[in-house]
Amino acid sequence: MKTIKRTKSAAAAGLILAMLFTGCGKINSDAVLMEIDGGKETITLGYANFAARYTQSLYDSVYLSYYGTDYWSQEESGETAETSVKDNILDSLKEEYVLNQHAEEYDIALTEDEEAAVKKAAEEFIGDNSEETLEVLSADVETVTKFLTQTTIASKVREAVQAEAEVNITQEEAAQRTFTYAYFNSMTYTDDNGNTAYYTDEEHEALKEKAEALTNAADLETEGKEAGATVTTHSYGGDDEDTMPEAVIKAADALKEGEISPVIEVEGDGYYVLRLDSEFDEEATADKMESMESEARAEYLQDKIDGWLEETTFKVNEKQWEKVKFDSLFRQKETEED
């Protein structure tokens, strides 16, 4: 067992590694993994391995306790978790490269203080870990420094690109209506033995009668809960692809503020009774405007990155990439900090 220690400065610089691993592996760190623009620049296998194993450690710290030690070999849609994450890492390396290539256009570079913090973090990381641990990670001062530098710059460029997007979301576009609804599931329930059971026709009628009684409720929340319904508030509008059934949204549209709907029966689902709380919910609309703006800026950023990627050619040495394996696992192990 070897420990990867976490230092205060490393965490502050964005490198959060505090893991315990078993097993070992070795690769040729100097081998070329990726040729860029016909070999004008390259990404080494060592750098990619460090990025991959660091990413793996983040997954391990969360999922090992849930899925066990073999979860990297588990398959979904015909590919293992390891293959899926490694594919994402290749995409991330390509994005990181083009973002760094365009950093100068946005006057982005590390400040002297940031460079000093990165250098200190890299040196502490190397000094705090054993040679065997560093070998598994392909970690040396140069690699860790480059990793911290390039990921930090890439993050700054992302922020700058999103900031330049011309986004103007209006209240009209984001306008939200809010209703409270009482819901009776009419499909299944859990019986006294913990088994799933289906409602009979008679039970369906009883549920519907409970829903009908709520159409005259003076206090939908209180009376709905007393009747055994699930009572929830929902806002909709703007650019939503709404998660509520279409019949429910149609019924909400027909209501004026304060009105309660008839029973809405959704086949294969249940019974709904709605009360329109607000025809224009200012708080929900403000939240929606913010989320729509964030989505628009994120879309602008991705379009920009996609354009840069199209202008750049990447050739990956798949045989070298196959040598990067998640064959040793990481466990969270915090160390004491001053």
Same domain, 205 and 253: yes
- pLDDT at res. 64: 84
The answer to whether 229 and 184 are in contact (CB under 8 A) is yes
Say whether pLDDT at 14 is over 50: no
For residues 127 and 103, state if they share a domain: yes
For residue range 27-72, list pLDDT tens digits in order. Answer: 899 999 999 999 999 999 999 999 999 898 888 888 888 888 889 9
Residues β-bridged to residue 176: 237
Residue 333 pLDDT: 47
Q: Is residue 171 part of a domain?
A: no
Q: What pLDDT shows up at residue 334?
A: 55
Residue type, 201: D
For residues 172 and 288, the answer to whether their CB atoms sit within 8 Å is no
| pLDDT for residue 23 is more than 80 | no
Full-model pTM = 0.81
Q: Is residue 287 part of a domain?
A: no
Q: Which segment of 19-23, 33-37, 77-81 scores lowest on mean pLDDT?
A: 19-23
Range of the domain at 240: 176-279
First to last CA, the chain: 25
Which of 76-90, 124-138, 150-164 is predicted least confidently?
A: 124-138
Q: Is the pLDDT of residue 299 over 80?
A: yes
CA separation for the pair 276, 281 (Å, rounded): 11
Between 334 and 245, the more confident residue is 245
Residues 83 and 45 in one domain: yes
Q: What is the share, in percent, of the chain residues with pLDDT greater than 90?
A: 72
Residue 288 lies in a domain: no
Tell me: do 126 and 150 sit in the same domain.
yes
Let me know how many helices (H) and strands (E) the chain has, helices first: 12, 14
User: Is 245 part of any domain?
Assistant: yes
DSSP element (H, E) containing 81? helix 81-101
Q: Are residues 303 and 237 in the same domain?
A: no
- Are 214 and 146 part of one and the same domain? no
Strand partners, 179: 234, 276
Pair (197, 303) in one structural domain: no
Answer yes or no: do 161 and 96 share one domain. Answer: yes
Number of structural domains found in the chain: 2
Residue 108, helix vs strand vs coil? coil
Does residue 338 sit within a domain?
no
Q: How many CB atoms lie within 10 A of CB 337?
A: 9
